[in-house]
Structures are given as structure tokens and as C-alpha cells.
Amino acid sequence: MISKIIEHLLHYISLSSDEITAISESIPIQSFSKGSILLKEGEVSKHAYFNIKGCVRLYYLIDGEEKTTFFYTENQFITSIKSFTNRVPAHHFLECVEDCTLGVLSYEAEIYLLKKFPKFEYLSRILLEEELGHYQDMLSTYITTKPEDRYKKLLKLNPQLLQRIPQYQLATFLGVTPESLSRIRKRIIQ
């Protein structure tokens, strides 16, 4: 089977067989069981990941409470960009919410790929532009809507996600406590 990663990248760029080989060899595919920690607070992120299957969440540990700020699902790149590119400790955790199949790109492999195939600079730029667009949208959504609206939006645009993650993780992702999300759900149904 042609890798899911290659398939995804072909949406953005054409790839020679050399390039496909290099990518396949540089980004090994690994399985992680539910609950696996990909990155701990205080560690320097050594890998970026491409999510082939499963769900990974990004969370902060603040006063003993986990605050989820992102869920990565199929066909998304998972990067703790500041830690990964600047080699500084991360302030968050990455955890598999489900059993996951991920492409694993080490820092060294990224450097190698970018050096060997300058074309990948273009690809990186395009992917980053897309990712940045998502983040601009998300930040705007946070500033301009209330938790209830964000829940409704998620319910409408991404109902499958709600089936995959526990509600207490969703709650902090929406910016409220689990109790409040429970009340929001109650309010909406009636």
C-alpha cells in the first residue's frame, strides 16, 4: 500500500519516486496504544508526527488539572512547533486518546529531507500556511464565541469527534469545567 502520508502530500505537490522513497524511509510508521505519552512537559520535542489513525490530544497541566487545547485526528500533522524547531522544553503533554498509528519524523530526518530536497521547503511552507490558517480561525472562534456556541459548532461540524473523546477532555477544550459542559448539554437538549 502507498503510504497515507504520501497520499496526503500528493494533494499539495508532485513527488518523484526518489522523493517518495526518501520520505518513506525518513518517516517510519509506528503504533502507539491508548494512553501513550508522546511528549512530556519539560522535554524537548524530538519528533513531529503525521496522524494516520487515532486521536492525539495536547494538554497542559495547570495546578494539577489537565487543560486540553487540541485534538489531532486522521491526516493531521502533530507538531509542538516551538519546542521542535527551537530545541526548547515544551510546556505541554501529547497523549494518545485512542490506539494510534503515526508517521514519526525525527528532527534530524526533517533536516535531512529539507537539505536533500529543497522542494520540501515549499511543501513545509504550504503546510505551515494551512496550519496557521487553522490556528487563526480557532483563536478567533475562542475570542468571539461562548462555550455553548463552540459546543454547538463542534456538534454540527465534527460530531464524530464527540464520540471519540471523553467529555471531561472536551470540556476543558471548550474552555469550561466538566460540570459546566454537562449543564450546557442539558440546556441544549431541552
Kindly report the backbone phi and psi dihedral angles of residue 168, in degrees, each rounded to the nearest multiple of 5, phi listed first: -70, -25
- Residue 101 partner contact from DNA, a copy of itself, none using kind-dependent CB cut-offs of 5 to 8 Å: none
Minimal distance, residue 141 CB to DNA, in Å: 14
Q: Are strands 37-39 and 29-32 parallel, antiparallel or unpaired?
A: unpaired
Minimal distance, residue 33 CB to DNA, in Å: 10
DSSP sequence for 22-86:
HHHHHS-EEEE-TT-EEE-TTSBP-EEEEEEES-EEEEEEETTEEEEEEEE-TT-EE--HHHHHH
- Residue 186 partner contact from DNA, a copy of itself, none using kind-dependent CB cut-offs of 5 to 8 Å: DNA
Among positions 6, 29, 44, 81, the unique one binding a copy of itself when judged by CB under 8 A: 81
Decide: is 145 part of the binding site for DNA (CB under 7 A). Answer: no
Minimal distance, residue 176 CB to DNA, in Å: 4
Among positions 7, 25, 108, 121, the unique one binding a copy of itself when judged by CB under 8 A: 121
